[in-house]
Structure 1
């Protein structure tokens, strides 16, 4: 059973790798013309949804794996707090994208582009720290 949960956990982590690319992809939003912005942001919104689903799967499978591994309490607390922070930030990111996509002509994308860029950078850094903590447990 451990192998199944470990497989699902690693698969979810691979899907969450989109958050490492988000800061670079978000920089391209304002470079594209009007309809291109809307389409590109729609793809980023879908990728964010997949990442959020992977985050939930990773949290659930990770909870099972941590229960079997006997890791330190400090590490578990730090990881759970980082998971919750990443979940909150991706929720804020999705909200900003949803508001930017509310106008089908793409008129409101410029208003939210700065927020999308900054939150995606923070999410990318947070995921990198989380991934590093997963690899180097204490």
Structure 2
């Protein structure tokens, strides 16, 4: 009985030491925001993502577009740095990435004038050096509360 238990533990240990195989295409998922909502006084907040890449050839940029429910909003693609991600060449990557947005990134309205959005969300993707692009994901909406 002890031999079977020992053999089982050795096999379980060997199986658990296997290399993570996420595949060559990066995998991106949204984990949340650093705050539950933003308002006119918010100067910065973070959008938190999980990036996985099986062959580790991920570059150090994450691309995003911020969207609002507001007509004539200029929606342009931006990118943010992912520190130290590019150092994993040849190794699989499973990293948490925080994209810090400052007021200039998300305040696209002037208080007490015109139409203002009540929420914002992001579309995000990553691309590795081989040209593989992750699925484009959409974050949940974060409410924007306006001063009265």
TM-score by length of 1: 0.28
TM-score by length of 2: 0.27
Greater relative contact order, per chain length (Cα 8 Å cut-off, separation 6+): 1
**Structure showing the higher strand proportion among its residues:** 2
**Structure showing the higher helix proportion among its residues:** 1
